[in-house]
Amino acid sequence: MADHYDVLGVSRDASPEDIKKAYRRLARELHPDVNPDETSQEKFKLVTHAYEVLSDPVQRQQYDLGPQAGFGGGGGFSDFGDIFSTFFGGGQQRGPRSRMERGQDALLRVEVELAEVIFGVHKDIEIDTAVVCETCEGSCCQPGTSLATCDICGGSGTIQRAVRSLLGNVMTSNPCGSCRGYGTTIPAPCSSCQGQGRVRATRSIPLDIPAGVDTGVRLHMTQAGEAGQAGGVNGDLYFEIKVKNDEIFSRDNDDLLCTLEIQMTDAILGTKVTVPALDGDVTVDIKPGTQGSEVVTVKDRGITRLRGNGRGDLKVGIHIVTPTKLSGKEKDLIESFAKGRKQPAPQLAHFQQGMFSKLRDRFFNV
């Protein structure tokens, strides 16, 4: 690695003003606007980095002493934890920390129709997230360049210094301020991701939603979440399901519930009615003499069980519609029917719940 003083063309005892003058002169000669060729650009980066180090008194002192040199001075304890760990085995140098970081997990809410829950459904979910930068492929560096060993800490990621204490001088280690503990620097950060190794983008996630899911169920996809920094492993994705309400059908665990309105004559004589269910037509058998609020069960036409075999049932609550307007002929027929039957006179009986309350109770107790 080139010496910073040689790069700027100054002596090791050069004054801050001499260093500034040397940098300005070289910067004018090597600036990309003046010399666009790659060689001049690389030299310009070296000159700039050398000036950043030597113009800072602290970094210059560290550079002059070298990465393994200790620092004197400082009265008293600057970091009691460092001193304690030195004596009890925790002060060993652990090496530079990795630039790669695991991406964050994400929770997304997905709405599905009740009909989609019966057999399950496949959806492609569009999400805005962090993805690996295509320009640098997660390296954080402009293509054709690479990470450089930090010339302050020599790649260790830490700076050692001597702390004067009651027990004498104790060597402590602290993260390098120049490379932030990574042990490397990025001379030419990627222009697309600004040295992060990832960018924001929209991508499509294929999601298979199993049959039988209900609101609140969470599906987990490992390493399908946000891309990690500097090529780190992706986080996880969690999908929380929200089942939309249906205008006709409702749900009770694995059963489907609905109400069928029939005419008075259908209830008296009985009939078979074909109606559209969520997964195709279904035939409901109305027995003669069916009473209002009775529940007809159609086996295996409910929701596929999430855990277990088979499906739930379709439960149809019967609502008998009493006509409010009759033609003269219809009224005559009804009156003739009533006279022909010996029916008891209306009398008081125990209070009956409303039709919807009775249906609810029967749905959940059938």
CA–CA separation, 292 and 108 (whole Å): 44
Angle between helices 38-54 and 16-30 (to 10 degrees): 160
Q: Is 136 annotated as a binding residue?
A: yes
Q: Is 153 annotated as a binding residue?
A: yes
Q: Is 150 annotated as a binding residue?
A: yes
CA–CA separation, 207 and 223 (whole Å): 14
Assess contact for 236 and 113: CB atoms under 8 A. no
Tokens, residue 316: 């149809």
Of 77, 78, 75, 53, give the one whose Cα is nearest residue 66: 53
Assess contact for 123 and 142: CB atoms under 8 A. no
Q: Is 140 annotated as a binding residue?
A: no
CA–CA separation, 173 and 86 (whole Å): 10
Neighbour count for residue 35 (Cβ, 10 Å)? 14
Cα separations (Å) of 18 from 11, 12, 266? 9, 11, 106
Binding annotation for Zn(2+): 133, 136, 150, 153, 176, 179, 190, 193
Binding annotation: 133, 136, 150, 153, 176, 179, 190, 193
